[in-house]
């Protein structure tokens, strides 16, 4: 035990003992003298002139656990790390800003894809010299020895590595102000759409090859393009993906919700961790796709996923937890997989067992590593023909069997829960509930959305108008990043559209004003990821490329565009268009537009300016609900029983009547009184 470690009731703790992050607490009893990211660790590295090991991961990460058990719990490894390095543990979900800097260093240093655990070596001032991912114990010892010796014998080499990496990090995703005023065209939008389709696996959905990630934003863009073009191939790209995901092993057929990604090209074998951000976005996507297709499978997916969120991922405060681990009892996926014997023993009905195993591709030998991942290829009708029974009988048997197996599964040792609450991820789930309410009209979904929005306001929003990022056990300490603001603004704006409560729209505008004050770079016309009140890192980055979660800059650009329409704010509209101009060449020339899918959605809004649909009068609620149940990616809704404070609503109230005004660019068509008439005016 080092002198800096503390002992409690015979147990030894390092400097992570007082952290709230479940990931950091997992490492609090390691013999490695871990520090959390912060001034104490950085000052120690400088004072002792030691290299830093910055090890980044998250609570649900399988290989993070493996490396901890192999290396960070080992006395030989810990002695080497404690004697010659200052070791810092980072929860990438709490500190994505730190993760981004050293992940970029990893990509530059290794020239290949990187993941977690991320292990970076940095000079005492924080500049990285090299980074890699998971290492078995022997290799990790070799890496530690190499950098220890190099720093002692040839420190000038490391200085040169740091200089080269810093140049790369600072030029990464650099955006230059684009002064041109090119028009946004339908022709270019069609080309981009076509490029998307080239990368789609039309047999199994998703992008061609493996692994397969859900990437909900890609299909939101394609769904909106189908709305405008009625191109069946574009819709097929969406439905093939959603059908195969819902039928695949990536979906939890017993408990609802999606795993992180599929390790194969068929959505069959997942990486079993379940993340809030995936499920929030997928609830939105399946809800929107239901509005277009009316496919009952999509409704089932949404309902089962939200049952899972309510049951396992919702804090009594109204916040949503972050993730469920991939592992239980030290094995990835053990909680979710089945042997055929287990199923037979649980169901105790030979016919039910045959039907269930047939339906979910369960075999005696197993369909994955001698066990079975539940997934399905055939419809209930196909099973009914094979088993010489009715489709209804198959469906009833499956429903009863699922309930029994779910109950039996509940007695197993559960995967670990990361119960910290993150603002940006909560905003994604909040929007998921709003979109599910729009699609299915369940009041419970709206009430959950309102409770979560109120939680964000009461626990995350601070007195000075800023947000915090994290919350756990009543504590909220980390200043929020741009994605926290951007996604909360988007969710609050959506909440206004289903409630017509202007306080949500006003909150969205106030948060937008705050970001312009503390995150905006007027030189480039883009937003930094970190606030100007945060202690600076070695570089201040901007997030531009859309990934599993859309880039905070693309979300902000869309927010500014939407709020510019609501508030007649020309400055907001101007910034949004400028941001699109700044990335226009990257987006339109890319052979991989999926890395800019949310920017593509903004481009579409600029090509197809949204209708502003005002519903004013005492009967507004029913009309609002009916309009919200339409898929209208080119409309924003506003209104209420009275005219409220929005300029577009002024002088719209007619005594004793309720009218729908379909407007565009502040010009309104003749008012109508039915949803059907309003839809016609938008066609």
Is 180 within a domain?
no
Is 178 within a domain?
no
The model's pLDDT over 502-511, given as tens digits with 9 standing for 90+, comes to 999 999 999 9
- DSSP letter (8 states) at residue 370: T
Phi and psi of 556, rounded to 5°? -65, -40
Structure tokens at 637: 């809704």
Is 312 within a domain?
yes
Neighbours of 211 (CB within 10 A): 16
Mark which of 607, 631, 665 sits at the end of a domain.
607
Is 379 within a domain?
yes
Same domain, 617 and 601: no
Is 343 within a domain?
yes
Neighbours of 185 (CB within 10 A): 13
- In whole angstroms, what is the distance from residue 340 CA to residue 539 CA? 54
Largest CA distance in the chain: 86
Specify the range with the lowest mean pLDDT, choosing from 10-19, 82-91, 523-532: 10-19
Same domain, 123 and 263: no
Predicted confidence band of residue 5 (pLDDT cuts 50, 70, 90): low
- DSSP letter (8 states) at residue 593: G
The alpha-helical segments, DSSP class H, found in 154-295 are 155-171, 186-198, 216-229, 232-247, 276-293
Looking at the chain, the whole-number percentage of residues with pLDDT higher than 70 is: 98
- Of 334, 204, 328, 331, nearest to 268 by C-alpha is 204
Neighbours of 534 (CB within 10 A): 16
Q: At what angle do helices 482-499 and 502-518 cross, to 10 degrees?
A: 160
The model's pLDDT over 354-404, given as tens digits with 9 standing for 90+, comes to 999 999 999 999 999 999 999 999 999 999 999 989 999 999 999 999 999
Phi and psi of 332, rounded to 5°? -70, 130
Tokens 């709305």 -> residue: 227
The model's pLDDT over 299-335, given as tens digits with 9 standing for 90+, comes to 999 999 999 999 999 999 999 999 999 999 989 999 9
Same domain, 453 and 556: yes
pLDDT of residue 665: 87
- Of 418, 238, 404, nearest to 313 by C-alpha is 418
The model's pLDDT over 405-443, given as tens digits with 9 standing for 90+, comes to 999 999 999 999 999 999 999 999 999 999 999 999 999
Is 190 within a domain?
yes
Same domain, 510 and 544: yes
Name the average pLDDT for the chain: 95
- In whole angstroms, what is the distance from residue 362 CA to residue 434 CA? 36
- Of 627, 624, 665, 663, nearest to 641 by C-alpha is 624
Query: Three-state SS string across 494-551, please?
Result: HHHHHHCCHHHHHHHHHHHHHHHHHCEECCCCEECCCCCCCCCCCCCCCCCCCCCCCC
Same domain, 290 and 426: yes
- In whole angstroms, what is the distance from residue 422 CA to residue 323 CA? 11
Indicate whether 3 pLDDT > 50: no
Mark which of 589, 607, 625 sits at the end of a domain.
607
Same domain, 602 and 618: no
The model's pLDDT over 210-221, given as tens digits with 9 standing for 90+, comes to 999 999 999 999
506-515: long-range pairs with CB below 8 Å, 24+: 507/457, 508/559, 508/563, 509/563, 509/567, 510/465, 511/465, 511/467, 511/485, 512/485, 512/556, 512/559, 512/560, 512/563, 512/572, 514/465, 514/466, 514/485, 515/482, 515/485, 515/486, 515/489, 515/556
Domain count of the chain? 4
Same domain, 157 and 193: no
pLDDT of residue 10: 52
Same domain, 620 and 594: no
- In whole angstroms, what is the distance from residue 599 CA to residue 526 CA? 13
- In whole angstroms, what is the distance from residue 563 CA to residue 489 CA? 9
Is the distance from CB of 96 to CB of 425 less than 8 angstroms? no
Indicate whether 4 pLDDT > 70: no
| Whether residue 117 has a cis bond before it, omega within 30° of 0 | yes
Residues in a beta bridge with 472: 475
- In whole angstroms, what is the distance from residue 364 CA to residue 348 CA? 16
- In whole angstroms, what is the distance from residue 78 CA to residue 69 CA? 12
The model's pLDDT over 434-492, given as tens digits with 9 standing for 90+, comes to 999 999 999 999 999 999 999 999 999 999 999 999 999 888 889 999 999 999 999 99
Is 107 within a domain?
yes
Mark which of 584, 607, 630 sits at the end of a domain.
607
Same domain, 29 and 165: yes
SS3 60: coil
Same domain, 349 and 254: no
CA dihedral 576, 580, 583, 589 (to 10 degrees): 170
pLDDT of residue 9: 52
Same domain, 362 and 288: no
Structure tokens at 199: 């990368």
The model's pLDDT over 596-614, given as tens digits with 9 standing for 90+, comes to 999 999 999 999 999 999 9
What pTM, to 2 d.p., does this model score? 0.95
Q: Which value, in Å, is the radius of gyration of the alpha carbons in the chain?
A: 26
The alpha-helical segments, DSSP class H, found in 33-185 are 39-48, 62-67, 75-84, 96-110, 137-153, 155-171
- In whole angstroms, what is the distance from residue 149 CA to residue 145 CA? 6
Is 234 within a domain?
yes
Domain range for 631 is: 611-681
Residues in a beta bridge with 368: 371
Same domain, 294 and 403: no
Q: CB-based burial of residue 537 (10 Å sphere; 0-12 exposed, 13-18 middle, 19+ buried)?
A: middle
Average pLDDT over residues 271-288: 97
Structure tokens at 10: 């015979």
pLDDT of residue 110: 83
Pairing of strands 323-324, 274-275: antiparallel
């Amino acid at each position: 035990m080092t002198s800096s470690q503390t002992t409690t009731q015979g147990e030894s703790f390092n400097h992570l003992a007082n952290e709230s992050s479940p990931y950091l607490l997992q490492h609090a009893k390691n013999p490695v003298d871990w520090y959390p990211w912060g001034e104490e660790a950085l000052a120690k590295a400088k004072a002792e002139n030691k290299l830093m090991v910055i090890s980044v991961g998250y609570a649900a990460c399988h290989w993070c656990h493996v490396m901890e058990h192999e290396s960070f719990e080992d006395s030989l490894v810990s002695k080497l790390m404690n004697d010659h390095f200052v070791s810092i543990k980072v929860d990438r979900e709490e500190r994505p800003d730190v993760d981004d800097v050293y992940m970029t260093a990893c990509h530059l240093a290794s020239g290949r894809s990187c993941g977690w655990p991320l292990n970076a070596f940095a000079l005492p001032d924080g500049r990285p010299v090299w980074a890699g991912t998971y290492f078995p114990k022997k290799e990790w010892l070799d890496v530690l020895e190499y950098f220890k010796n190099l720093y002692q014998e040839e420190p000038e080499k490391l200085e040169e590595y740091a200089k080269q990496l810093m140049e790369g990090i600072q030029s990464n995703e650099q955006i230059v102000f684009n002064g041109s005023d090119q028009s946004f065209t339908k022709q270019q939008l069609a080309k981009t759409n076509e490029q998307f389709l080239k990368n789609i696996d039309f047999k199994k959905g998703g992008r061609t090859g493996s692994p397969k990630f859900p990437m909900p934003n890609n299909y939101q863009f394609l769904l909106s393009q189908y709305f405008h073009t009625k191109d069946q191939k574009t819709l097929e790209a969406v439905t093939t993906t959603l059908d195969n995901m819902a039928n695949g092993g990536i979906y939890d057929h017993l408990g609802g919700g999606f795993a992180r990604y599929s390790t194969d090209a068929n959505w069959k074998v997942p990486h079993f961790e379940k993340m809030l951000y995936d499920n929030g976005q997928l609830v939105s996507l399946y809800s929107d796709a239901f509005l277009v297709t009316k496919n009952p499978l999509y409704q089932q997916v949404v309902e089962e996923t939200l049952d899972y969120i309510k049951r396992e991922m919702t804090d009594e405060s109204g916040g949503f937890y972050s993730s469920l681990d991939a592992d239980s009892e030290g094995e990835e996926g053990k909680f979710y997989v089945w042997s055929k014997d287990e199923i037979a023993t649980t169901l105790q009905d030979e016919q039910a067992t045959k039907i269930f195993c047939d339906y979910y591709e369960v075999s005696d030998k197993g369909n994955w590593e001698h066990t079975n991942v539940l997934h399905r290829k055939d419809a209930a009708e196909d099973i009914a023909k094979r088993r010489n029974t009715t489709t209804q009988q198959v469906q009833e048997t499956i429903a009863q069997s699922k309930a029994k197996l779910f109950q039996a599964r509940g007695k197993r040792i559960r995967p670990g829960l990361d119960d910290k609450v993150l603002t940006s991820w909560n905003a994604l789930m909040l929007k998921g509930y709003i979109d599910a309410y729009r699609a299915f009209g369940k009041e419970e979904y709206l009430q959950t959305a309102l409770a979560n929005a109120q939680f964000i306001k009461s626990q995350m929003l601070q007195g000075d108008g800023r947000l915090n990022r994290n919350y756990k056990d009543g504590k909220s300490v980390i200043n929020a990043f741009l994605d926290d603001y951007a996604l909360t603004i988007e969710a609050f704006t959506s909440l206004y559209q289903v409630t017509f409560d202007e306080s949500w729209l006003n909150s969205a505008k106030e948060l937008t004003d705050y970001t312009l004050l503390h995150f905006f770079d007027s030189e480039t016309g883009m937003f930094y990821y970190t606030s100007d009140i945060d202690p600076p890192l070695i570089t201040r980055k901007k997030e531009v490329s859309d990934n599993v979660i859309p880039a905070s800059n693309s979300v902000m650009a869309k927010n500014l565009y939407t709020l510019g329409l609501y508030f007649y704010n020309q400055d907001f509209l101007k910034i949004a268009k400028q941001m699109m101009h700044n990335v226009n060449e990257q987006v339109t020339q890319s052979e991989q537009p999926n890395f800019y899918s949310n920017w593509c959605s903004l481009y579409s809004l600029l090509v197809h300016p949204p209708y502003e649909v005002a519903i004013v009068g005492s009967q507004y609620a029913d009309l609002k609900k009916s309009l919200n149940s339409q898929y209208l990616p080119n409309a924003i809704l506003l209104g209420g029983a009275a005219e409220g404070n929005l300029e577009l609503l002024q002088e719209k109230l007619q005594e004793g009547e309720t009218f729908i005004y379909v407007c565009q660019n502040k010009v309104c068509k003749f008012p109508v009184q039915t949803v059907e008439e309003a839809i016609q005016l938008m066609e």
